[in-house]
Amino acid sequence: MMKQLILASQSPRRKMLLGQLGYQFSTLVADIDESVCDHESAKDYVLRLAQEKALAIFHRLAHEQQKQSLVLGADTCVVIDGIVLGKPANEAECIEALLRLENNQHQVLTAIAVVGYEAVDAVDMQSQIIETQVHFKALTLSEITRYWQTGEPCDKAGSYAIQGIGGQFVTTINGSYSAVVGLPLYETAQLLAKSGLPTTIQDNS
């Protein structure tokens, strides 16, 4: 029997991208602490959050539902000079973040994790980190202020949305565009297929 897919997120961007792969799925929100731990690297951080989101939802399910489900967790962070730039709490944090990114290259790390049962009562988790290099044009303070006033940066890691107004800041990208948006299409399809849930056009072998 084909397993049911659950996305551990209410992000409209992740829902759109997962739907783009042709999957039917439901969504549940994982309530976890997203603080960076002391001495935790950006890669360890983003991978931990993706795994914790998937596991939080999986453990919330009844046992019979666990056996019939795969849970997909994902997390994205923006990193420059080893510093993780989260979602801005206010205009000052947005300005500080974008002044770091302007006329510079940064990394966008997106981790995905899939949790399900490999066998009876044997929980299996597959995970992966995707790194994309993004370069910004030079920005002025007035551009950043006007961008903040659009409301777009408020809930975005790194204070920008590549798929929105903020896309005009990006001069080059080396890696996965969909990963920067929030869910890498290729890697997600491969990981779900490996876990027994191929897309409708993939060979099930």
Which are the contacts of 180, defined by CB distance < 8 A and separation ≥ 6?
76, 108, 110, 132, 134, 162, 173
**pLDDT for res 7:** 98
Asked whether residue 205 is domain-assigned, the answer is no
As a whole number of angstroms, the distance between CA 30 and CA 128 comes to 19
Number of domains in the chain: 1
**pLDDT tens for each residue of 108-162:** 999 999 999 876 678 899 999 999 999 999 999 999 999 999 999 998 999 999 9
**pLDDT for res 204:** 66
Query: Residue 127 is part of a domain; what is its CATH number?
Result: 3.90.950.10
Asked whether residue 180 is domain-assigned, the answer is yes
Asked whether residue 95 is domain-assigned, the answer is yes
Asked whether residue 202 is domain-assigned, the answer is no
Query: At 65, phi and psi to the nearest 5?
Result: -70, -35
As a whole number of angstroms, the distance between CA 204 and CA 13 comes to 27
**pLDDT for res 73:** 98
Q: Is 33 a catalytic site residue?
A: no
Asked whether residue 135 is domain-assigned, the answer is yes
As a whole number of angstroms, the distance between CA 171 and CA 105 comes to 10
**pLDDT for res 33:** 84
As a whole number of angstroms, the distance between CA 44 and CA 177 comes to 21
Q: What is the DSSP string of 144-203?
A: HHHHHHTTGGGGSGGG--TTSGGGGGEEEEES-HHHHHT--HHHHHHHHHHTT---TTS-
Residue from 31, 33, 38, 75 carrying the catalytic annotation: 75
pLDDT < 50 stretches in the chain: none
Q: Which domain holds residue 80?
A: 4-194
Beta bridge partners, 78, equal 85, 108
Asked whether residue 47 is domain-assigned, the answer is yes
**Residue 133: HSE in the Cβ half-sphere, 13 Å Cα cutoff:** 5
